[in-house]
Amino acid sequence: MRNEPFRRVLVTGGAGYIGSHMVLLLAQSGYEVTVVDDCSCGHRAAIEAVQRAVPEASIHFEECSLHDVARIGGLLAARRIYAVIHFAARASIAESFVLREAYWKNNHDGTLALLAAMRAAAVRRLIFSSTCATYGVATNASLPIAESCAQQPVNPYGESKLAAERAITAHHRAALAETSAFSYATLRYFNVVGSDPLGRIGEAHDPEHHLVPSCLLAALGRRGPVEIFGSDYPTEDGTCIRDYVDVHDVCTAHLAALNRLNESAAFIFNIGSGRGTSVREVVAACGRVAARAIPTLPAPRRAGDPPILIADAAEISRVWGWTPATVRLDESIANVWRWLSAHPNGYATIRRES
């Protein structure tokens, strides 16, 4: 099975949180996986953990930058890659206000460099990891948010990802005009949560900026109280509402895309659960799973935080038959708790143990 051309996949950002879970799923599904990551945010140890988990899998790791077009192009050709799954990006809304140029260079310019390398190597299938941050502030009339909603991002992170989306769409149109094949799927995630149920890989940011692991690290005494950024939003309890989707479900959506990218397809889908959960509700859920109180502190609103983001994911269900398998947020949180309880220092814990 591995010798079939469509089984050869390159994953950018594959040593990161979502990327490493994608590599695990691909390896378990019999794909030959090439991972590209500059390890500025990702962890080589995550790929090593996947290799231990699936020792029979073909996983090749290259530590390099997407901006090295010649090296990426050579790798695509040498590995005879069929499709690329593009996760590599900076992804913190708060950080994006401080590092605007870095976000643009990594998220937009890095995508342009990848497209150039793919063109040079005649690789014609791309699955792009995008974000609901491209939508901006939704009105009540546009909730839940469908793919047709206006894209008006309110933070540099969302702006950089929207620009990358547009670059991919332009690349597709140019390929059609030249009668050359190029297909893509853009998947706009809402809030990704969860971890490998067996605790082999997980989320490890430094500093951690996602709510669920932050709460659980606070429960473990590994950090101070969790800040609640704003309690005066137009929601029932005054805190932001988000749509949480399990990381494994995000990965199965990519697997569905791999099976459906023909020579000229262009798909844009939301990836979410369709359910909204407030910040305070997430904190309470983390407390239930950890069986201990989560210390919190009130804090001012953060710039660029929309009050409510809930996905309308009906279109991907209609077209591809994809729906989230994990329906209970507590189940996703329990997997994160399992990972963090065993690895409170993330992959540094694994390095010390090995």
Q: Catalytic positions, please?
A: 157
Q: Which helix (H) or strand (E) holds 112?
A: helix 110-121
Buried b (16+ CB within 10 A) or exposed e, 87-121: bbbbbbbebbeeeeeebbebbbbbbbbbbbbbbeb
Q: Please check whether residue 46 is in contact with residue 87, taking contact to mean a CB–CB distance below 8 angstroms.
A: no
* Amino acid identity at 47: I
In whole angstroms, give the CA distance from residue 290 to residue 263. 48
- Among 36, 61, 40, which residue's Cα sits nearest to residue 50? 61
In whole angstroms, give the CA distance from residue 223 to residue 295. 10
In whole angstroms, give the CA distance from residue 345 to residue 220. 11
Strand 32-37 relative to strand 58-63, pairing: parallel
Instruction: Tell me whether residue 160 is exposed, middle or buried, using C-beta atoms within 10 angstroms of its C-beta: 0 to 12, 13 to 18, 19 or more.
Output: buried
Q: Please check whether residue 234 is in contact with residue 306, taking contact to mean a CB–CB distance below 8 angstroms.
A: no
